[in-house]
Copies of this chain bind each other. A is one copy, B any other.
């Protein structure tokens, strides 16, 4: 309810609860977590949990919402830049600078992201994240892809690209996000623009 919690106790408890959630997600997965687990890990009273959240699902929702809100911030403002770079590219370097804030954000929130997108994560979050990417790429007034004249139904184009990106992110996080964000941005852009097989060096010169 409280928008701006000024009381330090509230801030502390909420932080403890969220940290506990993330830690437990990595250990057991959300499904196996019960409220008792969370409160024990956060060393707070169980009743206190219920004074902040309805149940563990409510907690999860709030955490995801916050994350997605921030995430969108890292994408939307960079769309115009991305369009520029995508258009002018053909042989030169891949358009990566526009994607950097996004991947840096993912790395900064590594543990939670990994837990959410991992095998014990939340399928609903993947859907939300796809929608986020979708809005970022298609929902703008200066959208990359005008929905006219496509050879493939827009839904499928969007699904393909969004899912592929999430797949790369999962792989990246799963390996500990060792590679610098630039590398990942380059890999993703290359495969999306030139096509996965071509970018990988398997197919050569695909002409119509």
Residue A162 at the chain B interface, CB threshold 8 Å: yes
The stretch that binds B, out of A12-20, A42-50, A66-74, A116-124, is: A116-124
List of B residues within 8 angstroms of A149 by Cβ:
201
Asked if A91 is an interface residue, CB under 8 A from chain B, the answer is yes
CB neighbours (8 Å) of A194 from chain B are 195, 206
B residues in contact with A160, CB < 8 Å: 164, 167-168, 188, 191, 196
Please tell me which stretch of A3-11, A104-112, A151-159 contacts chain B, meaning at least 4 of its Cβ atoms lie within 8 angstroms of it. A151-159
Q: Kindly list chain B residues whose C-beta atoms are within 8 Å of the C-beta of A91.
A: 207-208
Q: How many copies does the complex hold?
A: 2
Minimum Cβ distance to chain B for residue A199 (Å): 6
- Kindly state the separation between the CA atoms of A120 and B172 in the bound complex, as whole angstroms: 24
Which residues of chain B come closer than 8 Å to A153, judged between CB atoms? 187
Q: A interface, by DSSP: helix, strand, loop or mixed?
A: helix
CB of A193 closer than 8 Å to a CB of B: yes
> If A153-B187, A163-B167 touch, does A124 touch B130 (CB 8 Å cutoff)?
no
- Chain A 139-156 against B: per-residue CB contact (8 Å), 1 yes, 0 no? 000001100011111011
The verdict on A126 contacting chain B, using a C-beta distance below 8 Å, is yes
A144 to chain B: closest residue by CB: B202
A171 at the interface (CB under 8 A from B): yes
**Cross-chain contact B157 with A191 (CB below 8 angstroms):** yes
Interface presence of A166 (CB below 8 A): yes
Residue contact A171 to B159, C-beta cutoff 8 Å: yes
- Separation in Å of the A63 CB from the closest CB of chain B? 16
Interface residue A54 (Cβ < 8 Å from any Cβ of B): no
Known: A90-B206, A145-B200, A145-B202. 14 other contacts (CB 8 A): A119-B124, A123-B123, A152-B191, A152-B199, A157-B191, A159-B171, A160-B164, A163-B166, A163-B170, A192-B197, A194-B195, A195-B206, A205-B208, A206-B206
